[in-house]
């Protein structure tokens, strides 16, 4: 089993889901008392959020890349970044390390391709929905990626930062997300990407009409595949 290095704590509510899913899947596959071999760098998310808000992405990239190197030096054999938004900095991390970096958008695209779909709604932080680092990677693979209109993007971003990263899961917010997903499916989307790891804490597969692609789960399972290969 390879050692997985986790860059997490963005936020820890979703990062502990990575740990839970990875460990549960390793035990399921190997049996007995097996669990994953993990090295974890967890952050004070308030510091990361401040860098995002001040548009200081280069500084954030330097920090994540340096910590990925430390994980490699500590024995990690692959790196998993436990967040969608911070994959904007994936090139800086990949350039700094000599071990595989598992990109969350690639794990998601693989699942969408396996489902035979092409028109996909994307929900996430404003950065993920509006910038090219995530959408562009999916679209380069031939997907038609659709994001909500401006007011709905504001709602999704607000729920993530005002509620979910603070550990608040509200029924009213779930209803607003499901209503948005239903409207986007009605407009032609064949499924929806939970493109922020915290969204899985709010929206469940049974809540969603059409296919649901929970990126935390897909990414964590891809990490297990890589660790056990």
Active site residues: 83, 196
> Cis peptide leading into 11, omega within 30 of 0?
yes
Assigned token pair, 183: 């409207």
Q: Mutual orientation of helices 215-228 and 12-30 as an angle, nearest 10°?
A: 40
Q: Mutual orientation of helices 150-162 and 171-186 as an angle, nearest 10°?
A: 150
Assigned token pair, 125: 């932080």
Cα atoms found within 13 Å of the Cα of residue 61, Cβ hemisphere only: 14
Are the CB atoms for 196 and 173 separated by under 8 Å? no
Three-class SS state of 35: coil
**Degrees, nearest 5: CA angle 47-5-141:** 90
């Amino acid at each position: 089993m390879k050692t997985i290095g986790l860059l997490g704590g963005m936020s820890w509510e979703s990062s502990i889901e990575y740990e839970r899913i990875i460990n549960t899947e390793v035990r399921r596959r190997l049996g007995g008392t097996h669990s994953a071999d993990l090295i974890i760098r967890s952050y004070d998310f308030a510091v990361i959020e401040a860098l995002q808000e001040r548009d200081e992405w280069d500084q954030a990239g330097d920090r994540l890349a340096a910590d990925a190197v430390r994980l490699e030096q500590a024995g990690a054999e692959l790196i998993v970044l436990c967040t969608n938004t911070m994959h904007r900095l994936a090139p800086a991390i990949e350039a700094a390390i000599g071990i595989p970096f598992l990109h969350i958008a690639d794990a998601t695209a693989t699942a969408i391709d396996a489902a035979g779909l092409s028109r996909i709604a994307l929900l996430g932080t404003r950065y993920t929905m509006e910038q090219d680092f995530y959408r562009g990677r999916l679209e380069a693979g031939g997907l038609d990626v659709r994001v909500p209109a401006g007011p709905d993007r504001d709602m999704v971003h607000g729920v993530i930062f005002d509620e979910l990263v603070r550990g608040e899961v509200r029924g009213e917010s779930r209803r607003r997300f499901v209503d948005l997903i239903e409207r986007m499916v009605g407009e032609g989307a064949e499924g929806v990407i939970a493109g922020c790891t915290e969204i899985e804490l709010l929206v469940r597969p049974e809540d969603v009409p059409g296919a649901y692609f929970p990126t935390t789960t897909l990414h964590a399972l891809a990490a297990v595949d890589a660790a056990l290969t």
